[in-house]
């Protein structure tokens, strides 16, 4: 989640190796789920920092339409009264199929500047919750970093079955305690994490990904099964998105397919990955072309190998910005569509 920098895009426009590495020997092929018959997407729209709902046309993961006649479903009332980067999180453990959360960045760029948003930005995470995907209540802004942080950007979460809690992560940069006004030079932006059971109380935050001096933002994690994961993130220094694979857990050994310079593409941010409901082993990845027309879909049948190609985008709406997509069943899709007609 950042502003458009033409100079940065030009500097990364040279050819970069495509990620490829054969992980087929691990046998990590998720199965398609016949109970899932559609998709629910949550996004923000450029200079409109609210949560907009979209649903798939049928069971096509890259064909979507706006709900609520194109108007927002959630308008934040706390903090900056603006939310970016919404992520919809399915309940885990005893809450599976019974509870969902939407979390997001507390940032209304119309009320500030990009520089101020990184020096004196919000240190909290927006949270809403639901038991039916229709009624979203309990709006809260939960502070997760102390006064040395310049901001908390692009929060996302994943259920950690081994821990029995949600691993929540976000991007922050930090200033020395001797610089309480944050006027000097900060640390590199890194990915931080904490655990929670209810998105109300969080453990003390710690570093999750620190590639200093490279700035890293916009982390998204896709479970592969058998304690394996793919994670996607933006190199904010080079303005590229790349992927890493772990076959031994969220805190395992992460390997970058194709080598240390391999990327998926450049001039993008806000990666959002999700599995196809019908084709086993096929996944989609939305990448936000923030200097152009927003999200464009990519797809892969070799997620572990880091092989992604641009999808047919003829049925995917333009100008959707950093968000997430949740596979849903027929009853859920019908209920959401009835509540907020297209």
Pairing type for strands 283-289 and 36-45 reads unpaired
Q: Is the pLDDT of residue 5 over 50?
A: no
pLDDT confidence tier of residue 30, bands split at 50, 70 and 90: low
| pLDDT tens column, 297-333 | 999 999 999 999 999 999 999 999 999 999 999 999 9
pLDDT for 33: 86
Q: Please, are residues 83 and 321 in contact by the beta-carbon 8 Å criterion? A: no
Q: Please, are residues 126 and 106 in contact by the beta-carbon 8 Å criterion? A: yes
- Distance CA(114)–CA(120), nearest Å, equals 10
pLDDT for 108: 96
pLDDT confidence tier of residue 55, bands split at 50, 70 and 90: very high
Q: Does the CA dihedral 205-243-277-324 come out positive or negative?
A: positive
Q: Report the range of poorest mean pLDDT among 8-12, 27-31, 282-286.
A: 8-12
pLDDT for 46: 82
> Which secondary-structure segment (H or E) carries 271?
strand 269-275
Q: Which residues pair with 210 in a beta bridge?
A: none
Q: Please, are residues 242 and 276 in contact by the beta-carbon 8 Å criterion? A: no
Q: Report the range of poorest mean pLDDT among 13-27, 64-78, 146-160, 216-230.
A: 13-27
- Distance CA(220)–CA(207), nearest Å, equals 15
Mean per-residue pLDDT of the chain:
92
Place of tokens 């999700």: 274
> What percent of the chain clears pLDDT 90, i.e. is strictly above it?
89
Strand, coil or helix: 113: coil
Place of tokens 């949740």: 326
> Which secondary-structure segment (H or E) carries 11?
helix 6-11
Note the helical H segments in the chain.
6-11, 114-119, 330-339
Q: Is the pLDDT of residue 77 over 70?
A: yes
Q: Does the CA dihedral 59-64-68-72 come out positive or negative?
A: positive
Q: Which domains does the chain have, with CATH numbers?
A: 6-21+34-339 (2.115.10.20)
Give the number of other CB atoms < 10 A from CB of residue 290: 23
Q: What are phi and psi of 7, to 5 degrees?
A: -60, -40
If you compute the radius of gyration of the chain from its CA atoms, what whole number of angstroms results?
Answer: 19
Residue 41, classified by CB atoms within 10 Å of its CB into exposed (0-12), middle (13-18) or buried (19+), is buried
Strand order in the sheet with 165-172: 153-160, 165-172, 190-196, 206-209
The whole-number average pLDDT for the span 129-142 is 98
Q: Give the Å distances, CA to CA, from 176 to 46, 100, 122, 141, 170.
A: 32, 37, 17, 25, 20
The whole-number average pLDDT for the span 184-196 is 98
The whole-number average pLDDT for the span 86-105 is 97
| pLDDT tens column, 202-236 | 999 999 999 999 999 999 999 999 999 999 999 99
The token pair that represents 125 in the structure block: 């995470």
Q: Which residue has the higher pLDDT, 48 or 70?
A: 70
- Distance CA(342)–CA(195), nearest Å, equals 36
Strand order in the sheet with 269-275: 269-275, 283-289, 294-302, 307-310
| pLDDT tens column, 156-171 | 999 999 999 999 999 9
Contacts of 212 (CB under 8 A, 6+ apart): 187, 188, 190
pLDDT for 3: 43
- Distance CA(294)–CA(304), nearest Å, equals 25
């Amino acid at each position: 989640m950042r502003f458009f920098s033409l100079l940065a895009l030009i500097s990364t426009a040279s050819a970069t190796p495509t990620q490829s590495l054969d992980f087929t020997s691990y046998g990590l092929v998720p199965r398609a789920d016949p109970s899932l018959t559609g998709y629910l997407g949550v996004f923000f729209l450029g200079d409109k920092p609210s949560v907009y709902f979209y649903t798939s046309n049928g069971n096509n993961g890259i064909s979507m339409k706006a709900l609520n006649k194109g108007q927002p479903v959630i308008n934040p009332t706390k903090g900056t009264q603006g939310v970016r980067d919404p992520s919809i999180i399915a309940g885990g453990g005893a809450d599976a199929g019974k509870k969902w959360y939407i979390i997001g960045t507390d940032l209304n760029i119309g009320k500030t500047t990009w520089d101020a948003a990184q020096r004196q930005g919000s240190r909290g995470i927006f949270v809403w919750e639901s038991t039916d995907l229709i009624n979203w209540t309990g709006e809260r802004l939960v502070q997760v970093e102390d006064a040395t942080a310049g901001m908390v950007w692009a929060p996302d979460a994943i259920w950690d079955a081994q821990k029995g809690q949600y691993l929540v992560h976000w991007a922050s940069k930090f200033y020395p305690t001797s610089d309480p006004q944050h006027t000097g030079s900060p640390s590199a932006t890194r990915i931080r994490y904490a655990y929670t059971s209810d998105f109300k109380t969080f453990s003390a935050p710690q570093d999750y990904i620190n590639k200093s001096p490279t700035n890293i933002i916009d982390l998204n994690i896709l479970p592969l099964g058998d304690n394996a994961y793919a994670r996607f993130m933006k190199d904010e220094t080079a303005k590229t998105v790349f992927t890493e694979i772990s076959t031994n857990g969220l805190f395992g050994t992460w390997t970058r397919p194709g080598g240390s310079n391999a990327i998926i593409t450049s001039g993008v941010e806000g990666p959002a990955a999700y599995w196809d409901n019908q084709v086993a082993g096929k996944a989609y990845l939305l990448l936000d072309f923030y200097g152009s027309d927003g999200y464009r879909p990519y797809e892969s049948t070799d997620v572990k190998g880091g092989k992604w190609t641009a999808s047919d985008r003829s049925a995917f709406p333009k100008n959707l910005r950093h968000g997430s997509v949740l596979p849903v069943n027929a009853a859920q899709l019908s209920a959401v569509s009835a509540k907020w007609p297209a």
